[in-house]
Amino acid sequence: MRKKTPVLPDDLEDTIRSWLDALPDNKKPTINDVARFAQVSKRTVSRVINGSTLVGEETRKQVSEIVTILGFEPDTQARGLAFRHSFLIGLIYDNPNPQYVVNILEGIQEALVDNEFELAVHRCDRSDPNFIEKARSFVERQKLYGVVLTPSASEDDRLAAMIRATGSEYVRVASVALDEPHRMIVSNDRLGGISAANYFAELGHQRIAYIAGPPTFRSSQERLDGFREGLAQAGLEIRPQHIFEGDYSFESGVGATERLLSLRVRPTAVFAANDEMAAGVLQAVRIRGLRVPDDLSVIGFDDFHIATSVWPRLTTIHSPTQEIGRLAATRLLSRRNKGGDASQDETEPWLVIRESVGPPPHEN
């Protein structure tokens, strides 16, 4: 004997099941059918499906039971149109490091497991004078519910203002707070710079260099500022001629190190603002016939796969990038009902010690 659904009258459940039995195999129940059997509007059905708090408990239960009996599966695209957005979250990025992007993507996808939202990706170029308009086209064409912005795109207030104007939600990932707390995931890169400086100082290094990332990235400046702060805590400072500009690429790390090694009095240690450039340091040192860490100690930043794929393995600052992506997507989804925690989420980097750092070489 079939078990009756308690929230529906027996005759209504029987009517629905009889209607289903007569439904042609090539037809599927629609939202109109749910609304008709529940004697409510399509808007009310949509609200129940999307978990809105604007529907009474009795109505919600009745609609939910009818949806279950009918086996109704909402069309995601149609639902998006009804709510003026799709069930898509966008990622807008301009980071030159592919591993950073992959880690962020994995974190976002982790947050979207068992969720009705999907991910769309847009790479931008901040040097393009039309990059804001291209980003706008992406947001509006996809009818995005919300967007995750990563550095350095996240550091552009014009981009954030544009997304806000479209009515989409957004969360910015950055090394410092740049927006309202509920729109921020702060990575606190400065703390990583302090940790690198403290470790070099503990080992007795005094002539220390820094290889910077692109000047358009706030993270590069934050890492340098933290490094300076950590050195100052130990009574040290970094000389202007020991600061070299890179662009977060392996090749720029090689080039900066070649200049560093050409100095008459060389530094004994170098902090590279990411692991790709730190790997370039290892290459340049090896070409010169020198050794890491015997002749030059090296610290990177990120702790991506490359850090353990080179030899010596890199001492580096671990940044929990995948966790940052997960937090960003989770924070974005929490805004669906205009609720959620009003405070910002923060992560902290930490030092991972491996073989690329040792005490300074003995001087003759």
Write the DSSP assignment of 13-63 as a string of letters.
HHHHHHHHHHS-TT----HHHHHHHHTS-HHHHHHHHTT-TTS-HHHHHHH
Task: Order across the sheet with 345-346: list the strands.
Answer: 118-123, 88-93, 146-149, 169-174, 184-186, 345-346
pLDDT, position 115: 80
Same domain for 64 and 94? no
Residue type, 182: H
Angle (nearest 5°) at CA 337 between 331 and 338: 70
The answer to whether residue 362 is domain-embedded is: no
pLDDT, position 86: 74
* Number of structural domains found in the chain: 3
- For residue 284, the domain's CATH number is 3.40.50.2300
The answer to whether residue 359 is domain-embedded is: no
Same domain for 232 and 158? no
Q: How far is CA 234 from CA 31, 211, 227, 274, 293, in A?
A: 68, 20, 11, 23, 21
For residues 81 and 69, what is the distance between their CA atoms, to the nearest angstrom? Answer: 25
pLDDT, position 60: 84
For residues 356 and 231, what is the distance between their CA atoms, to the nearest angstrom? Answer: 19
Same domain for 269 and 239? yes
Angle (nearest 5°) at CA 318 between 315 and 320: 165
Q: pTM here?
A: 0.76
pLDDT, position 10: 74
The answer to whether residue 357 is domain-embedded is: no
pLDDT, position 70: 87
- Alpha carbon 159 to chain centroid, angstroms: 16
Same domain for 181 and 328? yes
Give SS3 for 84.
coil
- Alpha carbon 134 to chain centroid, angstroms: 20
Q: Could you read off the pLDDT tens digit of each residue along the chain, which spans 364 residues?
A: 344 445 677 788 888 888 888 888 888 888 888 999 989 988 888 777 766 667 788 888 888 889 888 888 766 555 544 445 678 999 999 977 889 999 999 999 999 987 888 999 999 998 898 999 999 999 988 889 999 999 999 999 999 999 998 889 999 999 999 999 999 999 999 999 999 999 999 999 999 999 999 998 999 999 999 999 999 999 999 999 999 999 999 999 999 999 999 999 999 999 999 999 999 999 999 999 999 999 999 999 999 999 999 999 999 999 999 999 999 999 998 877 555 556 678 999 999 999 999 999 976 4
Range of the domain at 336: 82-187+322-348
The answer to whether residue 364 is domain-embedded is: no
